[in-house]
Structure 1
Amino acid sequence: MRILFAPDSFKGSLSSKRVSEIMWRAFQEVDAQVEAIVKPMADGGEGTLEALAKATEHEKVTFDCTGPLGEKSKSWYLALDATRAVIEGANIAGLPLVPPGKRNPDHTTTYGIGEAIQHALDRGHRDLMIAIGGSSTNDGGLGMLQALGMKTLDNNGQQVGKFGIDVSNIEHIDLSSIDPRLAETTIRIASDVDNPLTGPWGASHIYAHQKGATKEQIVSYDQSLHTYGKLIEEAIGQSLIDYPGSGAAGGLGFAFLAIGAKLESGAKLVAEAIQLSEAVQNVDCVITGEGQSDEQTLYGKAPGHVAELAQQYGKPALLLSGGIDGEFEQLNQLFTSCFSIVPGPKSLEECLENAEDYLFQATKQVARLILY
């Protein structure tokens, strides 16, 4: 029997690459002769570069950049060839890069993501895929656009800072000095959300809390991002605030739309890059997984896309999850079977600490069911 392992990461504990390795080891312990294809997945958040690095020919490009708190840092991206490059926002300004005690969107920036784009442009890359999920920011892409040349002035005509707190001070925007090379560059944005920039379903109200924002900050950010968004809309002559996905990554999706990028399903872009469809057709069973599963798993998340492909080619798709919230019947619309890896009531701390063992033991049981 040939098995395809194509899980997403178990956020906060295991990368998609590590999840794949554990699943494969569990199956081998049950039957050393079982064949496997390993294709770690991602949907535009953390782990996207690692998933692509596992499955594609590439050059790892390191560069100096500004970290999420404005510190000097180093990061990396993938050069697939002379034209194409892949950048991961979470690798530059991701929430895990900010210590829990310092998580506050007032003090984080997307500036380093703009520096990554500049670096790729300097190398001659003109076809960029940028994964933007998992950010620590709520700056509406202010820092990123500043790094690319946008001028933002306060009511005294002074350049404002590059952090989230600075969005509320912007009175004037000038895009005339934006990097002209962007006009000849194709930018595809891998994202898994369709929220607008502002409003009750916008970036601030839905996602800022997990980045450390207080209730008061959330209300303030929603207002300041709306004002900022209107200034950019006026500058470019387009209405983008309510565009689906503009609220992705704390409004970074909006900033990318403003410079002509296209928002696409992160899971589909990654699956295309790692040739997942071809792999699905050449196996008997597909196994995927993620840290937490609910009805949202069916809409744009990596495991849901994996299961869609499996269904398309008539292959069973099994889901192994750190936790399942909601009705199994909904998940069974795509997944043949769904399993939680947690053995009984456990605290979150226990689950994170023992994630490898829980996943290994649960996968072994699935392997015994399939192979015996």
Structure 2
Amino acid sequence: MKFLIAPDSFKESMTASVAAHTIARGIKACLPEAITLELPLADGGEGTMDVLVNALEGCKQQYQVTGPLFEPVKASVGLIQDNTAIIEIAEAAGLHLVPVSQRNPEQTTTFGVGELIQRMLDQNIRRFLVALGGSATNDGGLGLLVALGAKIYDKSGQALSPIGQSLGLVANLDLSALDPRLKQCSFMVACDVTNPLIGSDGASAVFGPQKGATPEQVILLDQGMSHWAKQLNRFYGSSGNSIETLPRGGAAGGLGAVFHTVFKASLKPGIDQVLKSVHFDRLCQDADWVITGEGAIDGQSLAGKTPVGVARRAKHFGVPVVALAGKLGKGYQGVYNEGVDTILCITPEGQPLEQALEQAEQHLYDSTIQVVRQLMV
């Protein structure tokens, strides 16, 4: 029997590689003769760079850049064939870089993401694949633009700090000093969500609380993002509504909209790009079972998260899919309509989050054994 093991990371507890290996151990504990093919995945969020670098036999380079709290951090860039750089924005602006007690998307910046692009421009790189996901930011890309040479001012002509709190104060955007090499570049952006820039489904409302925003801050950030969309419209001549409602424009606190508007980037589902790069279809065709999973499965998973992307592809080949999750949230039942046959929450009911994260690897191993035994009945 052949198992294709294709999980994403389990946030704050296991990388995708560790998760895949743990599932494989669980399968082997029940079926020593089973064939297990480990295929760690990502969907545009954290881990995308590592998955693609490994799949495409690339390499990584590390730089010191400005972190989300304006502190120095070490961030890696992936380099693959065709002189292409993979920028994973979580490397320079990730939520994991901000202590829980300091999480506040009004004060965080994507400045370091722009610095990473600058480093690549200095190496004569002109092709970029940018993975949006896992950010601590809601600055609408202000930090990114300022790092690349843009200037932002309030109505009195004072330079603004490139943070989320400044979005509603932008009165002038000076792009005259934007790095001219950017005109020679092409950007393809991999997103793990489909949310627009503003509104009840927008960047601030949906992801702001995860990044530390209070209900009052969510309202202010959304108002600021709406103002920022109007400024982008003013400078780029597009319909304001098209920027505000652009699918995936709200990814990474508005970076999706800026990459699309300023750099003419295409915004694509990250999981589709990853599955193509790792030759998922070829590997799936003769599998008996696919086992996938990630930290949480809920209604947001339908927007293109790894388990759903995997299930949709496996469905083409009639291969049954098991999804394992650290948490099952509101709307998780929707994934059954996308090709998932069995879902199992690996976390014991009522276990505190901190303990669940510490024991996640053991829980994943035990749950895999449980699933495989059920499959054999």
Contact map agreement 2:50 2:78 (CA 8 A) in 1 = no
Alignment match, 1:134: 134
Contact map agreement 1:82 1:124 (CA 8 A) in 2 = no
**Aligned pair 1:336/2:338, yes or no?**
no
Contact map agreement 1:288 1:320 (CA 8 A) in 2 = yes
Aligned residues: 372
Structure 2 CA distance, aligned partners of 1:315 and 1:329?
19
Structure 2 CA distance, aligned partners of 1:344 and 1:152?
49
Structure 1 CA distance, aligned partners of 2:28 and 2:55?
21
Structure 2 CA distance, aligned partners of 1:19 and 1:186?
34
Correspondences of 1:173-212 after superposition (within 5 Å): 173-212=173-212
**Aligned pair 1:62/2:62, yes or no?**
yes
Correspondences of 1:118-267 after superposition (within 5 Å): 118-239=118-239, 240-258=243-261, 259-267=263-271
Task: Give runs of ≥4 in structure 1 deviating > 6 Å.
Answer: none
Contact map agreement 1:328 1:338 (CA 8 A) in 2 = no
Paired residue secondary structure (1:264)? strand
Amino acid at match of 1:217: Q
Amino acid at match of 1:309: R
Structure 2 CA distance, aligned partners of 1:295 and 1:169?
34
Paired residue secondary structure (1:105)? coil
Question: Could you tell me how far 1:216 is from its partner in structure 2?
Answer: 2.0
Structure 1 CA distance, aligned partners of 2:13 and 2:332?
24
Amino acid at match of 1:47: G
**Aligned pair 1:367/2:353, yes or no?**
no
**Aligned pair 1:32/2:35, yes or no?**
no
Alignment match, 2:323: 319
Contact map agreement 1:105 1:208 (CA 8 A) in 2 = yes
- Deviations for 1:49-76, whole angstroms, at most 9, x for unmatched residues? 2322342301111112111111122210
Q: What is the RMSD computed on CA atoms of the aligned residues?
A: 1.9
Cα separation, partners in 2 of 1:90 and 1:328, compared to 1, 3 Å: closer
Question: Could you tell me how far 1:314 is from its partner in structure 2?
Answer: 1.5
- Deviations for 1:276-295, whole angstroms, at most 9, x for unmatched residues? 22211242221101122224
Paired residue secondary structure (1:356)? helix
Contact map agreement 1:31 1:371 (CA 8 A) in 2 = no
TM-score (norm 2): 0.93
Amino acid at match of 1:218: V
Mean alpha-carbon deviation: is it higher for 89-98 or for 205-214? 205-214
Contact map agreement 1:285 1:315 (CA 8 A) in 2 = yes
**Aligned pair 1:355/2:355, yes or no?**
no
Paired residue secondary structure (2:327)? coil
Paired residue secondary structure (1:107)? coil
Identical aligned residues as a percent: 40
Cα separation, partners in 2 of 1:329 and 1:153, compared to 1, 3 Å: closer
**Aligned pair 1:301/2:295, yes or no?**
no
Cα separation, partners in 2 of 1:311 and 1:143, compared to 1, 3 Å: same
Structure 2 CA distance, aligned partners of 1:40 and 1:300?
16
Cα separation, partners in 2 of 1:295 and 1:100, compared to 1, 3 Å: closer
Paired residue secondary structure (2:86)? strand
Amino acid at match of 1:261: A
Cα separation, partners in 2 of 1:124 and 1:370, compared to 1, 3 Å: farther
Alignment match, 2:51: 51
Cα separation, partners in 2 of 1:166 and 1:295, compared to 1, 3 Å: closer
Structure 2 CA distance, aligned partners of 1:49 and 1:225?
28
Question: Could you tell me how far 1:37 is from its partner in structure 2?
Answer: 1.7
Amino acid at match of 1:103: R
**Runs (5+) with no aligned partner, structure 2:** none
**Runs (5+) with no aligned partner, structure 1:** none
Question: Could you tell me how far 1:41 is from its partner in structure 2?
Answer: 1.2
Structure 2 CA distance, aligned partners of 1:252 and 1:315?
36
